[in-house]
């Protein structure tokens, strides 16, 4: 598997002392892995290249409550699924806002923006159409995905090289059981605390709630959320849908009565949400993203 380093000239805003990357294997079943990576100090992308690329690419953004990044369940497994369908997948290992980086709550967005630009800069090498690069995020990664879709042009770092002249706007974005709002009434408490702090002002909450940052330039969005999600209330997706609709942004929303949270691919099997990847693929085909 190929790995692309996001910041080959040096990661900006390094805290002192720097975080220590830690990998925790959460799976008790030897047939699959479920790693959670904390303290990411070298942001990067793992690349899943198809045998016959179609020109489509997806930046995959795993969740983990901004505490760690669950790279297998919501990254590598989906990367393999996409590559089997001719789609080049890039799994993002992003820095975490609670680790003391200078960029603070924008540090993960910096990595997502940089990742999109690198994918476009390397389009010829990976046989990618730079106008068919979308993003998909899960849980807190869904927040980062929505943040990228709404604040792709927000300057979060100084330009490093020619890649930074390219757009960071995804051509479409899929937010799967996403954290969206920092409103304490519906926010995922852990993500909110690590991103903006427990006692953040209402202004700071709004600044980091993608439903308040939708503009006419926001790309088409795919939302999927079970109504029985006990970790991230479905109201997060409903608020995002309302904000997108108010701006006339194309949005497709799939709600399921049951499914819970954090199912990815493997844990969706046997549940009504099992078909969610096919729903996304059909949407992406209609949007001419794949």
Whether pLDDT at 1 is above 90: no
Containing structural domain, residue 271: 2-7+33-286
Q: Read off the CATH number of the domain in which 269 is found.
A: 3.40.50.1820
CA dist 23 → 37, 40, 137, 139, 182 (Å): 5, 10, 20, 19, 28
Pick the range with the lowest mean pLDDT from 46-50, 165-169, 189-193, 266-270: 266-270
Write out pLDDT tens, residues 6-18: 999 999 999 999 9
pLDDT for position 91:
99
d(CA 156, CA 169): 14
Name the band, by pLDDT with cuts 50, 70 and 90, for residue 71. Answer: very high
Residues 56, 86 contacting (CB under 8 angstroms): yes
pLDDT for position 176:
99
- Judge whether 16 lies within some domain: no
What is the residue-averaged pLDDT of the chain?
98
**Which segments of 53-172 are extended strands (E)?**
57-61, 69-70, 88-93, 133-138
Interval 170-185 mean pLDDT: 99
Whether pLDDT at 96 is above 90: yes
Residues 208, 144 contacting (CB under 8 angstroms): no
- Judge whether 20 lies within some domain: no
- Judge whether 21 lies within some domain: no
pLDDT for position 129:
99
pLDDT for position 158:
97
Interval 60-81 mean pLDDT: 98
- Judge whether 176 lies within some domain: yes
What is the phi/psi pair of residue 132, to 5°? -135, 50
pLDDT for position 288:
98
Q: What angle do CA 91, 93, 95 make, to 5 degrees?
A: 150
- Judge whether 136 lies within some domain: yes
What is the phi/psi pair of residue 186, to 5°? -130, 0
- Judge whether 22 lies within some domain: no
- Judge whether 159 lies within some domain: yes
Provide the number of structural domains found in the chain.
Answer: 1
- Judge whether 26 lies within some domain: no
- Residues with Cβ within 8 Å of 2's Cβ and at least 6 positions away in sequence, in order, are 46, 47, 49
Interval 157-171 mean pLDDT: 98
């Amino acid at each position: 598997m190929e790995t692309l380093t996001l910041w080959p000239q040096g990661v900006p805003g390094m805290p002192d002392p720097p975080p220590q990357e830690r990998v925790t294997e959460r799976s008790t079943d030897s047939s699959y892995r479920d790693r959670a990576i904390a303290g990411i100090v070298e942001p990067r992308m793992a690349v899943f290249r198809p045998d016959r690329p179609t020109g489509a690419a997806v930046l995959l953004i795993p969740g983990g409550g901004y505490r760690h990044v669950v790279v297998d369940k919501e990254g590598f497994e989906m990367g393999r699924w996409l590559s089997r369908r001719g789609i080049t997948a890039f799994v993002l290992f992003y820095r975490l806002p609670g680790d003391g980086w200078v960029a603070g709550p924008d540090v993960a967005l910096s990595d997502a923006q940089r990742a999109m630009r690198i994918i476009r800069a390397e389009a010829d090498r990976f046989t990618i159409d730079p106008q068919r690069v979308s993003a998909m995020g899960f849980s807190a990664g869904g927040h980062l995905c929505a943040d990228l879709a709404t604040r792709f042009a927000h300057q979060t770092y100084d330009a490093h090289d020619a890649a930074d002249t390219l757009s960071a706007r995804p051509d479409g974005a899929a937010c799967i059981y996403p954290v969206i709002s920092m409103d304490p009434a519906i926010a995922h408490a852990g993500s909110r605390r690590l991103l903006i702090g427990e006692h953040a002002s209402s202004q700071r909450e709004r600044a980091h709630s993608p439903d308040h940052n939708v503009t006419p330039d926001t790309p088409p969005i795919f939302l999927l959320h079970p109504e029985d999600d006990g970790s991230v209330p479905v109201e997060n997706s409903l608020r995002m849908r309302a904000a997108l609709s108010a701006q006339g942004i194309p949005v497709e929303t799939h709600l399921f009565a049951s499914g819970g949270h954090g199912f990815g691919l493997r844990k969706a099997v046997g549940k009504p949400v099992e078909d969610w990847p096919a729903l996304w693929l059909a949407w992406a085909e209609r949007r001419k993203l794949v």
